[in-house]
Amino acid sequence: MTAPIRLLIVDDHPVVRDGLRGMFTGDPGFEVVGEAADGAEALALVATVRPDVVLMDLRMPGMNGVTAIGRLARSTARVLVLTTYDTDADVLPAIEAGATGYLLKDTPREELVRAVRAAARGESVLAPSVAGRLMGRLRAPVEEPLSQRELEVLTLVARGASNREAAARLFISEATVKTHLLHLYAKLGVNDRAAAVATAYDRGLLTPGGR
């Protein structure tokens, strides 16, 4: 008889942990060996209960899921992310840190059970939206980063400064400001100041109230 998969549940919401524990405890193929409310608690438990799979939330107070995943990279436990969020800012760091799979909390019960079994075998399981994001990133052209000076020019432009005003603020010539603008237009794939600012905000190069 095959030994049950040892599962550690990590989530800062008790009601979520209760629901997951109830789901897996009722299946003889699994043994819930522990629960944790944040990444630090999860790391401590992994060392003692030695789970096969860690079902990990990402956004938690204290140590978050991504940090914990990175620190678990040398353990034998597989980490399957189970979260509400599927943005690039959540997905990419988790995968890069070493997560075996990434699912969302609206995943049907049967699919979640199959995913945990697959993770225990070392197989990657991704929610469809997550897989789509990763494929999109792989197909996207490599973005050339803006230089520090280009970011400074763009920040002033975003605040409404003219080329002359930006030049005065940065102690450079107006012609140099124009050159920086042309370079950053090319890097951002835009043709004018307004589009450059909008694209920079969209990519997180600029943030409201700061850069």
Window from 48-52, 86-90, 123-127, 199-203 with minimum mean pLDDT: 86-90
Residue 102 φ then ψ, to 5°: -150, 110
pTM to 2 decimal places: 0.66
Contacts 24+ apart (CB under 8 A), 134-138: 134/91, 134/92, 134/95, 137/88, 137/92
Give mean pLDDT, residues 162-170.
Answer: 94
Instruction: pLDDT band for 132, please (50, 70, 90 cuts).
Output: confident
Give mean pLDDT, residues 35-47.
Answer: 95
Residue 56 gets which letter from DSSP? E
d(CA 116, CA 104) in angstroms, rounded, equals: 13
pLDDT per position as a tens digit, 9-34: 999 999 999 999 999 998 999 999 99
Residue 133 CB: number of other CB atoms within 10 A? 20
More confident residue, 130 or 171: 171
d(CA 163, CA 174) in angstroms, rounded, equals: 6
pLDDT of residue 16: 96
End-to-end CA distance of the chain: 59
Which range has highest mean pLDDT (55-59, 144-148, 174-178, 199-203)? 55-59
What's the token pair of residue 177? Answer: 């400001």
pLDDT per position as a tens digit, 60-96: 999 999 999 999 988 899 999 999 998 878 888 898 8
Give mean pLDDT, residues 159-180.
Answer: 92
Q: Does residue 105 surpass a pLDDT of 90?
A: yes
Angle 26-91-107 from CA coordinates, rounded to 5°: 30
Contact 65, 10 (CB under 8 A): yes
pLDDT of residue 211: 47
Which domains are present in the chain?
5-139 (3.40.50.2300), 148-202 (1.10.10.10)
Instruction: pLDDT band for 139, please (50, 70, 90 cuts).
Output: low
Q: Does residue 118 surpass a pLDDT of 90?
A: yes
